[in-house]
Structure 1
Amino acid sequence: MLKEFKNFILRGNVLDLAVGVIIGAAFTALVKSLVDNLINPLIGLFVQNSALAHLYFTVGKAKFTYGSFINDLINFVITAFVVFLMIKAINKLFPKKEDTAAVIESEELETLREIRDLLKK
């Protein structure tokens, strides 16, 4: 059982996934720093507040921190856009291979059509 577990862990997919999670966590920290240290001060110039995350409003005793939500939304959009660019670049580097089964199938289909046409004559 231990040998099977070792084989499972050492398979390429599990290692690739682990590397992806680690790089993703580091990238998330980088995007958070970008938003907190560069984008928030720019937005703060317009909303007269030094930190976007501190914006809130209250209704009764409830405190709604919409600034934190806007921070998280900016983080998400930047992260999603960078992932989109990475996937687009990867797709250019590694184009999809033509499906050889489809080519063979279309050749067989054409041969069968020719046989059909010959039999009709």
Structure 2
Amino acid sequence: MNDEILALGKRFVDPRRTLNPSQAEKEEGIIPLTDSLPVIPQSYVTHSLKVEGLRGIVTAPAKLESTTHVFAYGVDLFYTRLAPSKTYDSLTDDFSYALLLITIVALVAAIYITWILSKKKELSEKWR
């Protein structure tokens, strides 16, 4: 090999692949069987780097569901985090924390006001 790591989608190694998939199989996302696997340059986990003398790859899940850790070792060491389905379970850099805080404060205030109004209503009903 070239001492690089290629991330290959599980659809490419699906044992149900056939030369001419039916319409139902196509709708399910099964791709046609070919004599070779596609090597897309953007799919290299190591990008343009090489892990010299690559001897092994270790993967482990992260605390985030969408992320996994990848560690490759040989003469060189390489580590990265992969998010094959994008990071759907983490906040973006431009997330509005101020708006979140304002929303929480408004909800707490609404709960408190509702609680006071319910106590007043209970008291007025008891005086009837």
- The TM-score, its normalising length taken from structure 1, stands at 0.30
Structure having the higher strand fraction is 2
User: Does 1 or 2 have the higher relative contact order (CA < 8 Å, sep 6+)?
Assistant: 2
